Chains A and B, each alone.
Chain A
Amino acid sequence: MSEFEAVIGIETHIQLNTESKIFCACSTDSWRVPPNTNICPICSGLPGVLPSLNEKVVEKALLLATAMNAEEINIESFFARKNYFYPDLPKGYQISQYDEPLALNGYFEFPMPEGDLCRITIAKLHIEEDAGKTVYKDQQRLIDFNRCGVPLVEMVTGPDFRSADEVAQFLIRLRRLLRWLAISDADMERGQLRVDGNVSIRKVGEDRLNTKTEIKNVNSIANVRDAVQAEIERQIREVEAGGMIEAWTLDWDDERGVLSKMRSKETEADYRYFREPDLLPVQLSAGDIETTATLLPELPLARRSRFEEQYAVPEYDAEILTDERSLSDFFEATVAAHEGDPKRVSNWVMNDVLRLIREEETSAGELGLQPAELAEIISMVEGGTISRSVGKDLLGQVRSSDRSPSQIVEEEGLSQVSDAGELSEVAIRILEANSDKVAAYQAGKIGLIGWFVGEMMKETGGQADPKLAKSLLEDTLDSYSPKS
């Protein structure tokens, strides 16, 4: 295995989350609608129709190109027709970009789990339209044009990956970034992020690129990893046995979890690209490019490092706190409002807030909980004003109320009882009412302290400071003797 190394490049197709399609005003969302309902004359390729470019598509593509550190962002780029026959392509050509694309020569850098940085070059980034879908049934094909015309950005990497794990990690990081920048929802199961892989192998130390196979139709990151890994192993076996690698196109069979040689014959692929005459060139001003660069927000990995440094939270925390943008912003706003140890905020956010978000399938931005409110709650718990469990409850109460946390605590008498005198009285009451348990404790069953603390909590409606309660009870029990 160590004699050979894998050489992998991938093409990703990213569906942009604009409201309307790239060349017509149909919606980009047809996830739950019946076939051929989200169509119009333009995206279904009727005679006489013309494309009309959606301005947001250019904006989002430019944003992505900027985030990918593209060295060349073309002020003028051109659409081109890629001509071929296929049932999901109503015009018989796809409007794409060919040799004059939006951007070239970028890179994406990300850490592998083991810590080392991996840098993948982005050779080309261009805009194009998506095709429809076909389903095979009873020796026929059923065609649905709903997806025709959804805007795509295609990114082609260099042959820079050396393992299936690197490919998987790239996709995880890419997906996070796309959502972070609100460019795409990047859900692979919904086809919003699609990947084709090109795999070849060579002897370690060699420079050349050998024949590659193409892997298509893989619909999850885990499957991409498995498919690429399987193909690397197959190629190594083949070459070691003296065979030759042929330029196959391989289909990932989801049900069986294997790659098989693609069944459909492709039409002759001379795409006869030429500039799309129905569209004018995509024009960017130097201003557009500059503005986009300045508007590019702090990206997840940069923020992760900053959180570790600035807030002294461990990498584990920082990773979770930069997974999704609104949560990340929420954390930071809470830290600013809290002015205490950010690690505490981190714990609350990673545990309680994140749990709420997952349960309700929402986001930090839509939770209805203000960072300042969370900061207040945390401060009250840290200061001993309320117990942690009351604090957790408050998270919910504050969301459905106009009142601030401290208002609620006051109005509903939720403060933690930390008055030793008050608690002592309660302690004595409990002991007097339970002489048998007292006797048992004093005889050596010190485990009963838990029960006593529980009683104390009950008596105080959960508001006793548990630590104080415990130590008080212990002291009282030690020195207690029943009134006779």
Chain B
Amino acid sequence: MAPLEDALPPTPPSESSITPKIFQHLVSLAALELTEQESEYLRRELNQQLQVIRDLESIDLATDLPITSHGVPYSAETRPELRHDRAEPSDKADAILEQAPEVEERFIVVPDIPHTELE
């Protein structure tokens, strides 16, 4: 029988793992600007969800148990072929550009990226 991993030590559920500081970090990673009210609500919900997620920690997983990326395994029968290398220009470039909020001479325009001060 394959050796079992030790189940991960359970985190006490009373401890909310997503502190305001961690939350702020996630918010900046996600490129979001939130109101304080929203932040409070979201952080609380995330921590509730984490309680549920922690259920996974108690499962014993054999160390050689592989991950599953897609539930259905692909075989020679089901795996589609790779695309042949042929250039077929799309006729949608203009329609795509039309969706952009700001365009100048076919470039999409955005504000500049923040800079650090040079020494």
Contacts and interface: CB of A to CB of B under 8 A. Distances in A.
Is B truly associated with A?
A: yes
A368 to B, nearest CB: 27
A135 B107 CA distance: 9
Contact of A27 (B87, B97, B99, B108): B87
Interface in A371-393: none
A54 B83 contact: yes
A25 B79 contact: no
Contacts of A24: 90
Contacts of A136: 112
B112 A139 contact: yes
Interface in B1-47: 25, 28-29, 31
* Chain A contact surface mostly: loop
Contacts of A26: 87-90
Contacts of B97: 36
Nearest to A44: B96
A46 B100 CA distance: 11
B104 A142 contact: yes
* Chain B contact surface mostly: loop
A25 B115 contact: no
Contact of A143 (B88, B110, B119): B110
A46 B96 contact: yes
B82 A58 contact: yes
Interface stretch (A173-181, A259-267, A327-335, A435-443): A259-267
Interface string A174-214: 00000000000000000000000000000000000000000
Interface in B71-95: 74, 79, 81-90, 92-93
B62 interface: no
A34 interface: yes
19 contacts: A19-B85, A20-B85, A20-B86, A25-B87, A25-B88, A26-B87, A35-B106, A36-B106, A40-B93, A41-B96, A54-B83, A55-B82, A57-B85, A140-B112, A141-B110, A142-B104, A143-B110, A265-B113, A267-B31
Interface of B: 25, 28-29, 31, 69-70, 74, 79, 81-90, 92-93, 96-97, 99, 104-116, 118-119
Interface of A: 18-20, 24-28, 34-41, 44, 46, 52-58, 85, 87, 135-136, 139-145, 260-261, 263-265, 267-268, 270, 275, 277, 280, 283
